[in-house]
Amino acid sequence: MTRHPAGQEPDAGQPPATDRTPYTGAVYGSLLSASVIAGASTPGPYPRLQLVLLLLCTGVVFWAAHSYCALVGDRFLHTPASWREVRHVCAHEWPIAQAAVAPATAVAISPLLGMGLEAAAWLALGVAVVQQVAWASAAVVLAGASRRVVLTAAAVNLVLGLLIVAAKVAVKHV
């Protein structure tokens, strides 16, 4: 939701301020990456490459969808968006796509660590959950939150990540 000071509209040349911290997309993207890893089946001749591509492509698709929704749902309602505004929104939402890079890298380097495909998927899932907790914690620290709020944000995001881990375990046993 966009905030404007009482009785003031945003400057037409400047993008409106938002309520979101810069890490919101990274938290969202990390959760998305963990979900992809947990739900991915990778049959085929190059399953590791398929998982890397699935992670990166899903991150980009969700980034594009999130950017579009931010433009249509918020910006276009207030004023017509310029190309400058579209670029600003797309850049602001880019952490969603970036969050897929670390888990994809974990999968890509897993053969160097002597890991099989299943271990690589677990490594990538762990990386996604850890970065999700880290980004959420960084966001509340940046916002000037108290230690209690930082710990709460970390705990909530850890629980969300562990729910995805539990879903992966449950799906494997079905």
Instruction: Write out the chain's pLDDT in tens, 174 residues.
Output: 344 444 444 444 444 455 555 566 777 777 777 777 766 665 678 888 888 888 888 888 888 888 887 777 665 666 777 899 889 989 998 998 999 999 999 999 999 999 999 899 899 999 999 999 999 999 999 999 999 999 999 999 999 999 988 988 887 665
Amino acid letter for position 60? V
Q: Which of 138, 110, 140, 146 is nearest to 126 (CA)?
A: 110
The rounded distance, in Å, linking the Cα atoms of 5 and 150 is 28
